[in-house]
Amino acid sequence: MKSIAQPISALQFGVLTTIEMTTALVIYIPVAYFVDKSGKKPFILATFVFFTCFPIILLFSQSFSWLILAFIVRGLKEFGEPTRKALIVELAPDERKAAVFGLYYMLRDAMVTIAAFGGAFLWMINPAVNFLIAAGFGVIGTVGYAIWGQNNSSKDEPKTV
C-alpha cells in the first residue's frame, strides 16, 4: 500500500478487496454452467494462469488504476476454484472422499504457511523477488497441470449400469 509510486489508503485497499470478491462472485455461476457442458481441465488451468499472472501484474502496478486491474485478476483466480474442488473429490476413492479432501487441504495449507515465511524473507531482500518467485512457481504449477492434469468431465466418466 505504501511502497508504490502512488501509495493507496486503507479505504482504497478495501475497495480493491471488494473488486476482487465481486469479480469472483460474478464468475462462479457462469463458469459452473460451462464446466457442466465441457471438461474441467480448461477452467482449472485458467485458475492457475490467473494465480500466475497476479504477482506479475501486482509487481508493475504503481497506481490505484493498475491495482484495480490486478485485483480483478485476483478475483478471476476463483475461475476454476469450485471445479478444482469437485475434481479433488471425484478423484478420491468413494469410501475416502472426505479424508482425501481434508488431507489435500491440510497439505496445501501447510505448504502455504511455509511459503508465507519464505515470502517474508524474500520481501526483506526485495518485494520484486517475492513476486517473481511466486510467478515462477505459478508457471511450474500451470505447466505441470497442463501436461499431467486430468479433465474428468462427465463425458469422460464411465457409465454405471
- Report how far residue 34's alpha carbon sits from residue 36's, in angstroms, rounded to the nearest whole number: 5
Residue 156: is its pLDDT beyond 70? no
Q: Find the mean pLDDT for residues 150-156.
A: 60
Question: What spatial distance separates the first Cα and last Cα of the chain, rounded to whole Å?
Answer: 58
The pLDDT of residue 153 is 57
pLDDT tens digits, one per residue of 52-93? 999 999 999 999 999 999 999 999 998 888 888 888 999 999
152: confidence class by pLDDT, cuts 50, 70, 90? low
Query: For residue 149, which amino acid is it?
Result: G
Residue 161: is its pLDDT beyond 50? no
- Report how far residue 101's alpha carbon sits from residue 104's, in angstroms, rounded to the nearest whole number: 5
The pLDDT of residue 65 is 93
Domain boundaries of the chain, sorted by first residue:
10-148
